[in-house]
Amino acid sequence: MNLFFRDNFFNAGFTEILDSEEKNMGHLDLKSSFGSAIDVYGVNDRLLYKGGFPFLSGKWEVSHPGGSLAGVLRSRFAMFFKKFTYETQGRGSYDITSPAFSKEYEISDSSGVLVAHFEKINGWFSSGAFTLRNQSAELDSYELVAVIMGMHAIQKRQDASHASH
């Protein structure tokens, strides 16, 4: 399934999730301008996943509507590329990688098999927009939307930290 979604410039409000034919497939609720928490809704406004940083943590947690943990996203140190690891509850670990200055990312399972691909498609002064192509039987596309928005939030935190030094 191919999905298109975006952040808002002020990190608050609702944004649509669209398919490749621009059909509405759900929406993101960006909870606050002062935080990074999100809710991911599917078709018929059904809450599917929540994402956010636990208090004083740099890890992004993705959870089900009832609160059970789906997985945890962490940034990993790498010299010439960007790397994140998404550790799921009982479904394995996934690496998210991209060359240093690229806007294209690959998601691979623990055996190195490519399961999804996404790309940041926004301009220089606009908010983050993404296109996702998911081929995974284990990872739901809406779960990956929460993971990608978490990766984007981690990168924004890192950029803000580097800018203040």
User: From CA 26, how far away is CA 125, in angstroms rounded?
Assistant: 25
23-68: per-residue pLDDT in tens? 999 999 988 656 679 999 999 999 999 999 998 888 999 999 999 9
Cα distances from 132 to residues 16, 17, 68, 92, in angstroms, run 14, 11, 24, 20
Q: Hey, where are the domains in the chain?
A: 2-163
Please name which of 70, 27, 71 lies closest in space to residue 47, comparing C-alpha atoms: 27
Residue spans of alpha helices (H) in 8-163: 141-163
> Tokens for 106?
């690959």
**83, 95 contact by CB (below 8 A):** yes
Instruction: Round to whole Å and give the CA distance between 40 and 80.
Output: 32
Check pLDDT > 90 for residue 159: no
Fold designation for 2-163 = Porin (2.40.160)
Handedness of CA 156, 144, 121, 27 (dihedral sign): negative
**Has residue 80 got a pLDDT over 90?**
no
pLDDT tens digits along 107-127:
999 999 999 999 988 755 556
134: closest CA among 151, 117, 109?
117
Q: How confident is the model at residue 160 (pLDDT cuts 50, 70, 90)?
A: low
Quote the mean pLDDT of the chain: 89
Percent of the chain with pLDDT over 90: 68
